[in-house]
Structure 1
């Protein structure tokens, strides 16, 4: 076997170990979610339940409060993703088409902002929102989600805009079209896959957010699913562990299914700038 083939084998073996490392907790979550209350007490003694059941999922989905938490999470995630895209479009287009001094520093700065954990800004964010009387409002959480997701969206959309031939815009400019008209009528329709990919990624990122809604939303009926599960976990007992596991699975599956279903489109959008020309 050649050295290159051995390298491939080693790479796949490493990826398999990493996948097993991250999938094992998920497998245990599935095992707990399909157990009866009596089998929960067996713990690690039995990985595959003797009498698997879907009653836990039925119990969770029949709870109107849980469905309300799911809707809140979907609304906040989609709203924050849409706001991030709306804010990122003009910034990404300017970075892609309009040369200006310090362009590289701006892009690096956006990337640096993306690396800052929301935990760092939670205390000043709470005080600022409290001063403006903006606590317990979904619009406040959506605004923060949009600000957090905008740097990632700018980078993704810049790659997408770079892949669009500039000759199309030059032809439109000769015909008298303005920058905004070119952006709305030519660039954005051609960038549909990139826009969709950026929206999906920012929405998935928002779906997993916990700290921001936990700090800004104090009323039970306003919580997204991530905060609701955390508060439920604080009062869970051994007899309701299977219900918590089922709720966690239901909360995780939407993001996983969306990402798996659209992964080809996302990868295509991410590498489109690399094959320009």
Structure 2
């Protein structure tokens, strides 16, 4: 009986959290499909009387908006790929190579993941300026890769732990070295975990604002997050619906990724927990 009430309490809390996050999203949708005249109604009418998709047509027909989307996709994907590439040897070492302080390393990586980018913005800017890397995509990609690597290490370690070690021992008996075992046996078997780490790192990068805002100054280099922020600073009441439509288009890729790939991501996250 107590377990049942515990389940009820859990679902009640989750329902409250769902409503808390869904209401702003619903308002965003409401604003995005309004005509300029209905924007002035504000909270007086939640469901527009004459919903329209013209706002989406307007922003998607703007070449600059498409460039911002492409910049965001390019930086996010390359930063996610770099995070995974950097995390693979570290995760494999933590999963398979016994060394002193392994748990300290893992906890340290987790602690680094919890540090806000705000803490490193000033020294990061000065460092990139000294290296003449400001206004270059490579600087943003490198920072994205560094910020995404700790989470990728944890995810990949879970994926590597789920692979039977007997397969690697058999390959080792046949004369295969660790790099060969990693490339030909471990990585193919851990492809779902690798894909999950890449997807999560890419989604994290997609939502990044501070890093590209500090490191990129040219309008044509901005990802969608920075472009929307600068557009919001000059928006008027008559164009609020365009801003809402742009925000919705920017948010939807991350939402769709989690909806379509949630099973693969969850299975990769719990793979190590059900080993054996």
After TM superposition, is the score higher than 0.5? yes
Q: Structure 2: how far apart are the matches of 1:14 and 1:269?
A: 26
- The size of the alignment, in residue pairs, is 276
Alpha-carbon deviations, 1:181-223, whole Å to 9, x = none? 0000000000010000000000000000000000000000000
Q: Structure 1: how far apart are the matches of 2:58 and 2:88?
A: 43
- Matched with 1:149 is 148
The Cα of 1:11 is off from its aligned counterpart by 1.9
- Matched with 1:135 is 134
Instruction: Give the unaligned 5+ runs of structure 2.
Output: none
- Matched with 1:160 is 159
Question: Counterparts in 2 of 1:1-277, with a 5 A limit?
Answer: 2-277=1-276
Q: Structure 1: how far apart are the matches of 2:163 and 2:11?
A: 35
Q: Structure 2: how far apart are the matches of 1:269 and 1:238?
A: 45
Aligned to 1:235, what secondary structure does the other structure show? Answer: coil
Q: Structure 2: how far apart are the matches of 1:7 and 1:170?
A: 44
Q: Structure 2: how far apart are the matches of 1:53 and 1:272?
A: 45
Q: Structure 2: how far apart are the matches of 1:201 and 1:78?
A: 10
Q: Structure 2: how far apart are the matches of 1:267 and 1:44?
A: 38
Q: Structure 2: how far apart are the matches of 1:5 and 1:164?
A: 35
Q: Structure 2: how far apart are the matches of 1:262 and 1:15?
A: 21
Aligned to 2:271, what secondary structure does the other structure show? Answer: helix
Alpha-carbon deviations, 1:221-254, whole Å to 9, x = none? 0000000000000000000000000000000000
Q: Structure 1: how far apart are the matches of 2:244 and 2:47?
A: 15
Q: Structure 1: how far apart are the matches of 2:236 and 2:165?
A: 61
- Give the aligned CA root-mean-square deviation in angstroms: 0.7
The Cα of 1:259 is off from its aligned counterpart by 1.1
- Displaced runs of 4 or more, over 3 A: none
Q: Structure 1: how far apart are the matches of 2:169 and 2:134?
A: 47
The Cα of 1:99 is off from its aligned counterpart by 0.5
Q: Structure 2: how far apart are the matches of 1:186 and 1:73?
A: 34
Q: Structure 1: how far apart are the matches of 2:81 and 2:87?
A: 10
Q: Structure 1: how far apart are the matches of 2:6 and 2:80?
A: 39
The Cα of 1:102 is off from its aligned counterpart by 0.8
Aligned to 1:9, what secondary structure does the other structure show? Answer: helix
Q: Structure 2: how far apart are the matches of 1:127 and 1:4?
A: 55
Q: Structure 1: how far apart are the matches of 2:162 and 2:208?
A: 31
Aligned to 1:164, what secondary structure does the other structure show? Answer: coil
Q: Structure 1: how far apart are the matches of 2:162 and 2:81?
A: 22
Q: TM-score normalized by structure 1?
A: 0.99
The Cα of 1:39 is off from its aligned counterpart by 0.2
Q: Structure 1: how far apart are the matches of 2:269 and 2:230?
A: 37
Q: TM-score normalized by structure 2?
A: 0.99
